[in-house]
Structure 1
Amino acid sequence: MGQKTAGQERSGLLLGVAAYTLWGFFPLYWPLLEPAGAGEILANRMVWSLVVALVLLTVTRKWAWIRPLLRQPKRLALIGLAAAFVSVNWGMYIWGVNTGHVVETSLGYFINPLVTIAFGVFIMRERLRPSQWAAVAIGAVAVIVLTVGYGQLPWIALTLAFSFAIYGLIKKQVGLGGLESFAVETAFLFLPALGYLLFLGGEGRSSFTTHGPGHALLLVLCGVVTAVPLVAFGAAAVRVPLTTIGLLQYLAPVFQFLLGIAVFHEQMPVTRWIGFGLVWAALVLLTVDGLRQARRGRRAAAVADPVRERLLVTEEQQPLA
């Protein structure tokens, strides 16, 4: 049993690394789709993602959840709202990468855990530990420093961080599986996206049919590129501890940041280095705190197990009423 669990965790770790690595290398893919603009790329991503989701549902034969969901209008409305926020996130990310702001897009995903924690306090009324408060405070100072460095609010990063945090908050309320949620969200986005693509075609501004089959294939593959890391992440999430997923999530923005500097040669003045350094310090605090809490949880579980076992034995020895 232990050996099987170790094997599952190992495969889960590999799947998690694969998912976040693919997300981290997305900045190399979106420029390949030029001369398509961010709006056309986003619309293609929405349309072809639904096609891929339907194929995956057919292969896995996961259809039973649809009918009960259709009888829950409030839940459907929340999924529609989640779809709206993820479309903002996708669109801003594509636009940011294709306009030379790869480093700032990475900042958005570095900041995201801090925004999520802030939402936990102000929306979910959760209580923070001192180290979490310190991390959020350092993150706020980092945004101020980066605002000075950029000469304006780092609005691309903040839009990415807040849209994804709100998306995560809504998904927590919905409680739907990864593939199922992906299918319904893209179903909400499909018709507006298809309408926009038809409009571009009618205006003669669509690149899908005017730049050769290779370009059209790359646009179609937006659906696969979106779905593959999502499916890998879903498989990893059920195999490895939450603390491992929490650590892996930093892989994607690290790769994005390195690509922005090494491949796209974006500028990093001293103030930006200081701002990023503060964000990284906040994330180190969060990570150390999370690992400490996980260790305490495991220790408490190890202590509780023999106690629970003795209680069960005692109950079994008692005569039936």
Structure 2
Amino acid sequence: MATVTDSGAGAPSAEPAPSGDTLKGFFYALAAYLFWGVQPLYMKLVAHLPTLEVLAHRAIWSVPVALVLLVWLGRTADIRRALRSPRTMLQAAVAAAFVSCNWGIYVWAISVDRVLETALGYYINPLLTVLVGALLLGERMSAAQMVAIGFAVAAVAVLTWDAGGVPWVSLALAGTWAAYAFFKRTLPVGPAQGFFLEVLILLVPALAVAAWFQASGRGHFFDNGGYEAALFIGCGLVTAVPLIVYATGAKLLTLSTIGIMQYIAPTLIFLMAVFVFHEPFSQVKLFAFVLIWIGLAIYTWSFLSRRGAAR
């Protein structure tokens, strides 16, 4: 799930941000965020399958989908240059390792009915990314950003006290995505091209894992008359399509607009967790989410203020 921050620690587009928003860009980005928001519905369909096997097929089938979309959009020149650069491929490999961890936690959490924790993780992510930018890149945080991060820390403390343990799913999702964004920002290609490089690097180990499942008799690809195969192939579609649609739309929007729209997906995930999947939602959890929402409101106000002042 793509995010953007004013710290610069998010994955950048290969082209400069536009001077104004376009309606086409808005609908591209909206489609991507809505898709990400309802993605748990699809992940529930594969919840009965081993997480590792789902991850393997997600990487395998993302490769052809991403390649077709890149060819259609005419964005293959960067790929050829990147494949000839060992440094670029190493950077892509590190990013691929972190996004694999993020995918694994996300798929597993949904399969064991912890969707609410994934929503919290993606709410925390923008604030954690700002913190990463400050700690690792030496970027200055405004007073408002520090207050926003304080609210997030308070929310995590409340949840830790309530559950008797750290909400590690949320923190792991936010942490692995922040690390992914940090390393992805070094790639000298756009986000869509970078995604293709990442899944291309994951292709060989993913094929090995899928082959092991089939050879050991634990594979599900040929089960149920091709139904499971369709689900596995669909994992590539639900992974690659929204990301590349988002990357296309982001080129046609200002960072301020993207910064606000990024909350659409976790909000939909939150609503589905409570009203569709009926996960337990106590008053303590509500209080923790209110703290997060206050922190995000402060962060967004700071983000928009600084962008407006810069313009």
- With the length of structure 1 as denominator, give the TM-score of the two structures: 0.88
Question: Among 151, 164, 178, which residue is 2:164 paired with?
Answer: 151
How much has 1:78 moved relative to structure 2? 1.2
> In the alignment, is the contact (CA less than 8 A) between 1:43 and 1:196 conserved in 2?
yes
Question: Among 89, 92, 98, which residue is 1:79 paired with?
Answer: 92
Per-residue deviation, residues 164-195 of structure 1 (Å, max 9, x unmatched): 00000111111321221111100111111111
The correspondence of residues 15-94 of structure 1 with structure 2, limited to 5 A, is 15-94=28-107
The answer to whether structure 1 residue 244 and structure 2 residue 264 are counterparts is no
How much has 1:34 moved relative to structure 2? 4.1
The answer to whether structure 1 residue 177 and structure 2 residue 190 are counterparts is yes
2:259 alignment partner AA: G
Segment of structure 1 superposing worse, 31-40 or 41-50: 31-40
- Aligned equivalents of 2:70, 2:101: Cα separation in 1: 25
In the comparison of the two structures, how many residue pairs are matched? 294
Question: Among 269, 273, 296, which residue is 2:286 paired with?
Answer: 273
Per-residue deviation, residues 180-220 of structure 1 (Å, max 9, x unmatched): 11111001111111111110001111111122222211211
- Aligned equivalents of 2:114, 2:194: Cα separation in 1: 29
- Aligned equivalents of 1:80, 1:266: Cα separation in 2: 36
**Aligned-pair identity (%):** 38
Runs of 5+ unmatched residues, structure 2: 1-17
Question: Among 235, 238, 260, which residue is 2:273 paired with?
Answer: 260
- Aligned equivalents of 2:246, 2:116: Cα separation in 1: 23
- Aligned equivalents of 2:264, 2:187: Cα separation in 1: 27
The answer to whether structure 1 residue 106 and structure 2 residue 119 are counterparts is yes
1:113 to 1:46, Cα distance in 2 relative to 1, 3 A: same
Runs of 5+ unmatched residues, structure 1: 299-321
- Aligned equivalents of 2:282, 2:179: Cα separation in 1: 31
Equivalent residue number for residue 205 of structure 1: 218
- Aligned equivalents of 2:264, 2:154: Cα separation in 1: 23
- Aligned equivalents of 1:276, 1:127: Cα separation in 2: 26
Per-residue deviation, residues 25-79 of structure 1 (Å, max 9, x unmatched): 1110011124312111111100000121222233344333234323432221111
- Aligned equivalents of 1:195, 1:34: Cα separation in 2: 22
1:180 to 1:211, Cα distance in 2 relative to 1, 3 A: same
- Aligned equivalents of 2:107, 2:298: Cα separation in 1: 30
> In the alignment, is the contact (CA less than 8 A) between 2:256 and 2:307 conserved in 1?
yes
| Root mean square deviation, CA, Å | 1.7
Equivalent residue number for residue 97 of structure 1: 110
> In the alignment, is the contact (CA less than 8 A) between 2:29 and 2:249 conserved in 1?
yes
Equivalent residue number for residue 230 of structure 2: 217
SS state at 1:221 partner: helix
Equivalent residue number for residue 13 of structure 2: none
- Aligned equivalents of 1:68, 1:259: Cα separation in 2: 42
- Aligned equivalents of 2:80, 2:19: Cα separation in 1: 37
2:69 alignment partner AA: L
SS state at 2:138 partner: coil
- With the length of structure 2 as denominator, give the TM-score of the two structures: 0.90
The answer to whether structure 1 residue 194 and structure 2 residue 241 are counterparts is no
| Higher Cα radius of gyration | 1
Equivalent residue number for residue 291 of structure 1: 304
> In the alignment, is the contact (CA less than 8 A) between 1:36 and 1:206 conserved in 2?
no
SS state at 2:186 partner: helix
> In the alignment, is the contact (CA less than 8 A) between 1:149 and 1:269 conserved in 2?
no
Segment of structure 1 superposing worse, 262-271 or 102-111: 262-271
> In the alignment, is the contact (CA less than 8 A) between 2:92 and 2:187 conserved in 1?
yes
